[in-house]
Amino acid sequence: MRITLRYFILALAALLLCCCANKDKMDNVTDTAQAPTVMVDDTTVTGLIAYYPQFSRIDLVCGTMPTQQDTNVIFCAEAAFTHEILDEFAHSNIDGDHVSAGKRYKGAKCEDNSGAFAWFGDTTWEFINGEYSELLDSVAAAGGMGFGQAIIIHDGESIRPLWREKYDDKTTHYRALCEKDGRLCIVDSRDEVSYEKFVSLLEQFAPRHALYMDMGAGWNHSWWRDTAGKVHEIHPVAEKSRYCTNWITFYK
């Protein structure tokens, strides 16, 4: 009886270890029937809304915004700045060199691009503070995507001086692509705030990295899809929406 009980305890311990290991793997699975396509968190920091896409891949879609009829798309929003208001699309009108569908394109020169984000086409991504040309070469070779923007927070440290200090008196909705607790999320200000206030709210949110995303009326038009397939627009279409050039796009 003592031997049988010993084996029972050993078997139970092995089963518990197996369950724990499976849980660690399940936390990283992004496409399950039970998981929401996009988890929305509006309680961690008052004043911010964080969208966590449960994605299988990411791309920088250029030229035409992904259609809401494409049910594989679960989140999309303007990423890099558009250089000029032009009636026709050109990669050269996107601020900064960028990678779309594994191909690198030459963009317009942009002094505000102090960093970048890149996804390597598997389960890895990188935020960089500073020069990012080599990063784009690497991510293109890996078949991924990447774009430049203004870095706000890197490795938990806020970048000073504030990038938009000259716009301190202007209030608007702001947005950043973030990494928090090992997960990617898009973080929006709930209300129109100053850039300094937005950075303060991000610091409370405490992401490891935060990269600015293009905003402003029309440029901020974006949407996400819930588990039932319903599309939710975050900001409506406006006059300048038709001049947008690029969208970070998450796929289920």
pLDDT digits (tens, 9 = 90+) for 19-76: 433 333 333 334 444 568 999 999 999 999 999 999 999 999 999 999 999 999 999 9
Q: How much is the pLDDT for 168?
A: 66
Do 168 and 220 fall within a single domain?
Answer: yes
Higher pLDDT, 116 or 26: 116
CA distances from 171 to 114, 157, 168, 220, 222 (A): 22, 24, 8, 14, 19
Same domain, 122 and 141: yes
pLDDT of res. 166? 61
Answer for the pair 82, 219: CB distance below 8 angstroms, yes or no. yes
Residue bearing the bigger pLDDT, 167 or 234: 234
Per-residue pLDDT at 12 exceeds 60: no
At residue 43's C-alpha, the angle toward residues 42 and 45, to 5°, is 95
pLDDT at 164 over 80: no
Average model confidence (pLDDT) for the chain? 87
Q: Are residues 26 and 115 in the same domain?
A: no
pLDDT surpassing 80 at residue 93: yes
**How much is the pLDDT for 88?**
95
For range 221-238, the mean pLDDT: 95
- Do 47 and 59 fall into the same domain? yes
Q: Are residues 72 and 127 in the same domain?
A: yes
Q: What is the rounded average pLDDT of the residues 225-251?
A: 95
**In percent, how much of the chain has pLDDT > 90?**
77
Please indicate, yes or no, whether residues 44 and 58 belong to a single structural domain of this protein.
Answer: yes
- Shared domain for 109 and 17, answered yes or no, is no
Over range 195-215, report the average pLDDT: 96
* Residue from 182, 249, 193, 169 nearest 47 by CA: 193
pTM, two decimals, is 0.85
Using the CB atoms, write b or e for 50-87: b if 16+ within 10 Å: bbbbbbebbbbbbeebbeeeeeebbbbbbbbbbbeeee
Q: Is the pLDDT of residue 1 over 70?
A: no
pLDDT over 70, % of the chain: 85
* Ramachandran angles phi, psi of 168, nearest 5°: -55, -30
What's residue 190's pLDDT?
Answer: 95
Residues 97 and 14 in one domain: no
Specify whether 230 is located in the same domain as 120. yes
**How many domains does the structure of the chain reveal?**
2
One domain, residues 115 and 141: yes
- Is the domain of 1 the same as that of 74? no
Mean pLDDT on 204-223? 94
For residue 216, what pLDDT is reported? 86
Which residue range forms the structural domain that includes residue 9?
1-30
Distance between CA atoms of residues 100 and 92, nearest Å = 13
- The angle formed by the CA atoms of residues 191, 69 and 228, to the nearest 5 degrees, is 70
Q: How confident is the model at residue 167 (pLDDT cuts 50, 70, 90)?
A: low
Binned at pLDDT 50, 70 and 90, residue 160 comes out as confident
| Residues 169, 193 within the same domain | yes
